[in-house]
Structure 1
């Protein structure tokens, strides 16, 4: 025991990622019954070096080990009396959503966006709780209301597979079996809802009236999105091509983000919600408030953000200019659509900068967890991180 204790102290003083560095970086430090994986000489984040049998990095038998960063929030919430700060952040997210001015505006406007947000929130809750059936049902209900929540399916699959310790490997039969089960529950629930709609209405006219309307964008009424002005000025023979280009933005980022964030499906849900709020055909301020409610959950990334002041000023200025320019354009007649659309472009650009900034901060923090807060070059000088 003395030799093992000495080897641990020597290893902790040798490598740059010390216990104190990891504790400062990871704000959601679990209770004493769980231990985060340590950095090993092989550069991995497991408790022992898989390539060496005589490695001093041995797991402690009395302390269970979290083998993945993404499963730590789930494991440390198994005991209600030992909830870490991660769980308290969800209550902060609730207050952030309810007190958000965008949420208040959508309620004042009597928008149905609140119902869509409620269904998506129930889907997230069922997924985090590990209930695959309810997760598939609420995802089908959200897709039934709008097509874009379909992109959340990948994040739900990743989280549920990690919850049930199913390896995320396309060559494993268990992987495809779980995907088939979830797809069957999701498609079955969606078909039941569509069938009930046909039974109540007596025709299939609701399909082009709902989904066809969302995809073809026939109404170019001004909103906070990117579609209306562009397609109002578009020549008719170019419309189909640019319609496909604009709509594919909601779905094309799902695959690369799922590959990059396969160990962090909750953050993947946040990214997909933000992308849908930016690139959907008819966005509202209620969609913006939904993904902004996740920002308190990622408060530990604030120290790595780079464009907070710029994004905050842009969004505040655009939020104030929207009603002013609308009044000058529609009622006073002293402005035109270019002023309003310019404000829309700046508002969406600020959202894109916000999402990219959080993505950069998340990747940088994960890098620091492995290599330490102050990485060094081979010659001993301080290294500079560059996101490629």
Structure 2
């Protein structure tokens, strides 16, 4: 069954790539994952020039660009992206243990369009999913390689590494991750003329959102509407924002594990923090939102108890559909400005935060209920013992 679904998913991606090419839109790719951005970098390399300079539009990491330059044709690069996408589906299955999650990822139109348009986000998702799987399975060394690759590709998602903190990994693992990441940075430094210019284009500009383009996130509009003198402060606040949730989430879910005996809290922590990172990301795409929702679907029994769950998820999907329609109506066809996107994007993101708030509120309520039951049981036992005496 799984082989048939995988074959159908691969075939649909190949058909879309060859015969139905789709122009990238902000819902599918970002300036940091768009293949055209990588092509521009490759054209610089073919002329013997460095693609990284002050205010460079090229954001593809040097090692990825170097790897693409070795490929004889674009079809081979598409094969690499397709392979990464197939691995994503496999790791989703390994994390969720669900054939349905595997099938949803492979045959849904969002991931098919993203892969067929050659979005480089497949590599980022692969790093996140491998990190999550290897950490949950406590395969430390493989998790180190995954998080190092992720920090190299997308520093905005680095707060997801706190899954190590949640699982009480030792300090040695953090040192190994730092050394591995430093080796990737050093290789990029040596490969591109012993200069750190790429660091601004591929890391700092992405983390602080300097290449502002309309997307389904909120950061671009907040920065554009802010006075210029305060923009840097806002960029820094938005960059550190996901890190603020780590400790409260850590405490809440450990209490939940203790009182409710819920065995899958590490997986739940990974899913929730993944979704928080996506909402806080400067350039999220629909596939970025889709994957954590697929992962969190394995906690269906808990989600079904969230009173606002159905409303927030449904409203969020409607917001995404409206933003796609507004992009086609006002931005592409008649050259309108991107302000028409903002209502839909803020509505979508608020609904996702509403879903997370409802989920965590339900977790907190269940902790209180279990505490109350334990207290009542203790009182009853003490009364019975006193009577027997």
TM tier, shorter chain?
0.5 to 0.7
1:204 Cα deviation (Å)?
A: 1.4
Q: Aligned pair in 2 of structure 1 residues 292, 98: CA closer, same or farther (>3 Å)? A: farther
Q: Aligned pair in 2 of structure 1 residues 266, 313: CA closer, same or farther (>3 Å)? A: closer
Under a length normalisation based on structure 2, what TM-score does the superposition of the two structures give? 0.64
In 1, Cα distance between equivalents of 2:288 and 2:200: 23
2:119 maps to 1:111:
yes
Could you tell me which of 131, 137, 140 is aligned with 1:129? Answer: 137
Match of 1:329 in 2: 330
Under a length normalisation based on structure 1, what TM-score does the superposition of the two structures give? 0.64
SS at structure 2 position matched to 1:358: helix
Structure 2: segments with no counterpart, 5+ residues: 1-93, 258-264, 380-389
Match of 2:230 in 1: 238
In 2, Cα distance between equivalents of 1:121 and 1:272: 13
In 2, Cα distance between equivalents of 1:101 and 1:307: 27
2:131–2:146 CA contact under 8 A, matched in 1: yes
1:283 Cα deviation (Å)?
A: 1.1
In 2, Cα distance between equivalents of 1:251 and 1:87: 23
1:177-216 mapped onto 2 (5 Å cutoff): 178-179=170-171, 181-202=172-193, 203-216=195-208
In 2, Cα distance between equivalents of 1:369 and 1:99: 40
Match of 2:253 in 1: 261
1:87 Cα deviation (Å)?
A: 7.8
1:338 Cα deviation (Å)?
A: 2.8
Could you tell me which of 146, 152, 159 is aligned with 2:160? Answer: 152
In 1, Cα distance between equivalents of 2:333 and 2:175: 55
Could you tell me which of 239, 245, 249 is aligned with 1:247? Answer: 239
Q: Aligned pair in 2 of structure 1 residues 252, 160: CA closer, same or farther (>3 Å)? A: closer
SS at structure 2 position matched to 1:255: helix
SS at structure 2 position matched to 1:293: helix
1:144–1:190 CA contact under 8 A, matched in 2: yes
Q: Aligned pair in 2 of structure 1 residues 322, 200: CA closer, same or farther (>3 Å)? A: same
1:126 Cα deviation (Å)?
A: 0.9
Match of 1:319 in 2: 320
Structure number with larger C-alpha Rg: 1
1:123–1:138 CA contact under 8 A, matched in 2: yes
In 2, Cα distance between equivalents of 1:304 and 1:370: 18
Give me the CA root mean square deviation.
2.7
1:261–1:268 CA contact under 8 A, matched in 2: yes
Q: Aligned pair in 2 of structure 1 residues 106, 362: CA closer, same or farther (>3 Å)? A: farther
In 1, Cα distance between equivalents of 2:205 and 2:144: 25
1:336 Cα deviation (Å)?
A: 4.2
2:120 maps to 1:98:
no
In 2, Cα distance between equivalents of 1:88 and 1:325: 35
2:160–2:277 CA contact under 8 A, matched in 1: no
2:268–2:296 CA contact under 8 A, matched in 1: no
1:329–1:335 CA contact under 8 A, matched in 2: yes
Q: Aligned pair in 2 of structure 1 residues 158, 331: CA closer, same or farther (>3 Å)? A: closer
1:368 Cα deviation (Å)?
A: 4.5
2:359 maps to 1:358:
yes
User: Aligned residue pairs: how many?
Assistant: 274
2:157–2:281 CA contact under 8 A, matched in 1: no
1:183 Cα deviation (Å)?
A: 1.2
In 1, Cα distance between equivalents of 2:335 and 2:287: 29
1:116 Cα deviation (Å)?
A: 0.8
Match of 1:227 in 2: 219
Q: Aligned pair in 2 of structure 1 residues 132, 251: CA closer, same or farther (>3 Å)? A: same
1:317 Cα deviation (Å)?
A: 1.6
1:369 Cα deviation (Å)?
A: 4.9
In 2, Cα distance between equivalents of 1:265 and 1:128: 7
Q: After superposition, what is the alpha-carbon deviation per residue over 1:105-142, rounded to whole angstroms, capped at 9, x for unaligned?
A: 42243211111111111111111221111112211111
Q: Aligned pair in 2 of structure 1 residues 354, 141: CA closer, same or farther (>3 Å)? A: same
1:271–1:355 CA contact under 8 A, matched in 2: yes
Match of 1:299 in 2: 300
Match of 1:65 in 2: none
Structure 1: segments with no counterpart, 5+ residues: 1-85, 162-177, 379-388
